[in-house]
Amino acid sequence: MEASNAAAIGGGGGGGHLLASILFRIFGRGKRYYGEKEVVMKVVQWIRSACFVVREWAVVPGLRFLVLACLTMSVIMVLDKIFMATVSLFVRLARRSPSKVYRWEPFADQIDEEMQQESIDNYPMVLIQIPLFNERQVYHVAIRAACNFSWPSERLVIQVLDDSTDLVVRELVKEECEKWIRKGININIETRDNRKGYKAGALKDGLTCSYVQKCEYLAIFDADHQPAPDYLKQAIPFLIHNPKIGLVQARWKFANADECLMTRIQEMSMDYHFKVEQEAGSSTFAFFGFNGTAGIWRIIAVKEAGGWNERTTVEDMDLAVRASLKGWKFVYVGDIKVKSELPCTFKAYRYQQHRWACGPANLFRHMFLEIIKAKDVTIWKKFYLIYSFFFARKIVAHNVTFIFYCLVIPISIFFPQVEIPRWGVAYIPALITILSSVATPSSIHLALFWILFEQVMSFHRFKAVHVGLFEGERVNEWVVTEKFGSKNKPNNVKNGVDHKKPQSKLWERVNVTELLLGLFLLMCASYDLAYRVKNYFVYIFPQSLSFFAIGFGYVGKFIPSNV
């Protein structure tokens, strides 16, 4: 009798059978509870009806809306990538290098001793700014590189902006600078007792020093950057002979790209950024986001733009946008390469990506109206800044990667009535992968790992974008990216610790959020495999494994906190 009643209440659904069975166990003992059975039946029927209404009238339409929104964002993203790839390809095929588009003349060599002073006077005064903050492993790298420039010492001012709170590091920086001072290099140390404005505040304060006023150009290098001795001679001529150029940006090359799989993957993303994004922006609208280092500014352009501003954590991009709105042109020169270091730990990379995703979104919030109201640029450049540079690359790209591929597609498995076209699930992601990985041909065989890693990172970038857009709690968080100078010491050994081997216990490396997302994706893939709903399990299983791998800390290197 109870079984037949349970079947009647269940209405044929597995969930109904289970719910009815539980309720009958609670209320169905003895004839005195017979009246309660009728109530239970009504309650179960009401719950089933309510669930059906919510599913059909709220969940399914909401999911369909998300699918449509994500497909639209995917099209926006892929069209922007096709545009940039086309421009970059044209530049290469037409051999339109910056030295052919803009006037560029090398510095004349000294002919004899009589002409020596005259030759030196032809060199403009250049200020080198090197901002530092507790970078024990690499504090000396940029200082030594700047002191070895093949540039007359009389025409060069090096300024080390040391905000370090570690007194040992401050002393090391001081000793390094004094060593070069004794060799006749014009090097100045500027320290602060606070970190107001972080890097932007240090750069801003540095420009107020009296000895800076005689300088025409400003070159900036982060601590780990190693420009070649002829860097200034290669880049400065663009500024000398083209008065409307305000910034010359060099390309980054990575000394530790082969350190681990995570650095190889980062190299792919960064090569795409420089070889495609920067080059396309430079070749079309003479604009791109300044990278904060390995670039040379015309100081008058910095001043006209309003100087450094610490309102966001991307002071470099902020200055670039404001200078561009004043009519200044930017040139990316890919032939000039500056060595630097990629973050080799997941923690360092995660903090870096938070800043790089949150800052631009927050800057977009601040500058949207400024861009629209700008009078010194064309409407097409405004459109490029708002739509392509900010919306498509800084907002859409981070949202669609997480929402569509990590949430909507897996959840759609439980709703067969929600259909996603094959071109949205397969063709567009494949095209994006091809366009993004060709910039590093030597690592194209790692494209699958790149996809999986980028999807895990999309969660952190998604959060950061919304923190920036809505000015959340971490909007102004600034954590300096840890650098270890790993390629500067043999066998990757520092302080007696081999960084290739994890030196910590498992729970010290665990990332709980990644594990939970990995579990969610594993459930979706398992359900799809069991019931053959949409066959998305083929790529959701590897996706879940990548979340688990990073969740358990098996990515990059792990540097114990006591090292």
Which amino acid is it at 267?
Answer: E
Work out the angle between the directed axes of helices 2-10 and 14-27 (0-180°, nearest 10).
Answer: 140
Residues 404, 407, 413, 415, CA torsion sign:
negative
Query: Where do we find the tokens 């791998």?
Result: 549
Report the distance separating Cα 549 and Cα 511, nearest Å: 10
Q: Which of 80, 162, 163, 224 is catalytic?
A: 163
Q: Nearest to residue 452, comparing CAs of 362, 323, 541, 556?
A: 541
User: Whats the size of the chain, residue-wise?
Assistant: 563
Catalytic residue status for 80: no
Cα gap 501→486, rounded to integer Å? 14
User: What backbone torsions phi and psi does residue 129 show, to the nearest 5 degrees?
Assistant: -105, 130
CA 101 to the chain's CA centroid: 30
Q: Tell me the residue ranges of DSSP E strands in 499-563.
A: none
Reference 389, options 298, 302, 320; nearest CA is 320
Catalytic residue, chosen from 271, 316, 318, 528, is 316
Question: What distance in Å separates the CA atoms of residue 276 and residue 436, rounded to the nearest whole number?
Answer: 9
> CB neighbours (10 Å) of residue 3?
11
Q: Which residue has the tokens 């459930």?
A: 523
Sign of CA dihedral 112, 117, 118, 123: positive
Please give the structure tokens belonging to residue 11. Answer: 């209405």
**How far does CA 469 lie from the centroid of its chain?**
16
Q: Report phi then psi at 340, rounded to 5.
A: -150, -175
Cα 391 to Cα 266, 327, 360, 404, 409, distances in angstroms: 23, 21, 10, 17, 23
Angle of CA points 85, 372, 297, to nearest 5°: 65
For the question of residue 528 being annotated catalytic, the response is: no
Q: What is the dihedral of CA 299, 301, 302, 305, to 10 degrees?
A: 160
CA atoms within 13 A on the CB side of 159: 27
- Which residues are the active-site residues? 163, 316
